[in-house]
Amino acid sequence: MKGPEDDAGLAGKVAIVSGGGAAGDGIGNGRAAAILLARAGTRVLVADLDLKLAERTVDMIKAEGGHAAAHAGDMTKEAECKQLVDAAVDRWGRLDFLDNNIGIGSRGSVVDEKPDEYRRVMQVNVETMFLLSKHAIPAMIKTAKGGSIVNISSISALRPRGLTTYTTSKAAVIGLTQAMAVDHGRDHIRVNCICPGPMYTPMVNRGNGMSEAARAARAKASVLKIEGTGWDIGHGVRFLLSNHARYITGHVLVIDGGVTLQGPERDSAT
């Protein structure tokens, strides 16, 4: 006998995936989530600062028979966040899900970090989620009578290893997630957070690329002794957005292969 948990509730729904592009054919957290949602029948609006990166994700989805569209925008600007939400509703008539992936890194200590850089990291890593949620939540309530949001944080927020500005921003994402979960539970909107560990993604491998020795060291930091990828985060996003997680909100899901069980790893965590 089937219960409500047997239906993932993703088919026919509409999702925005911010930061849904990735370099080349690489699989970042956002691209993986977009592809996996589309495979489950969700219509996905893939947003990225670089339209070409978003379009590549859309091409990959359409090659599998999924439904998606690309959107370019700077999500540090409120007007462009509103335009993104409006674009999803205008195209498909509703909005059910928001996956907030946008983020940048920073390595300075509180002494070394320049105030302008601190403000920039907080703006990109936290304010974009605030602004997108600010416009997505009313659209979810109006068009779908509820919805679900996933914000991407980091295990650095749970096991600080320096990187003061980055760590502060990712800790703020957890606070934002849990506060929104309380504020909007009455609106039938769930808000959860994922803290990735040392995932191998195009963002991590940018520039000259990560050496095999560095990748091996990152894998060794896991109790499973394997390397995480964007797909691992994408599966977590799809689960938290689905009906399978219908009674989960304000939760911080750690996807790190057990890295945080062994204490901080300065060179391997994200």
| Burial class of 8 by CB neighbour count within 10 A (0 to 12, 13 to 18, 19+) | middle
Q: Give the whole-angstrom CA distance, residue 17 versus residue 31.
A: 8
DSSP assignment of 117-132: HHHHHHIIIIIHHHHH
Point out the catalytic residue in the list 118, 166, 200, 247. 166
CA pair distance 101, 152, nearest whole angstrom: 6
In the annotation, is 166 catalytic? yes
List the one residue out of 92, 81, 193, 91 whose CA is nearest residue 137: 81
Using alpha carbons, select from 34, 28, 29 the residue that is nearest to residue 69: 34
Encoding tokens for residue 172? 């703020």
| DSSP string over 183-194 | HHGGGTEEEEEE
Active-site amino acid positions:
166
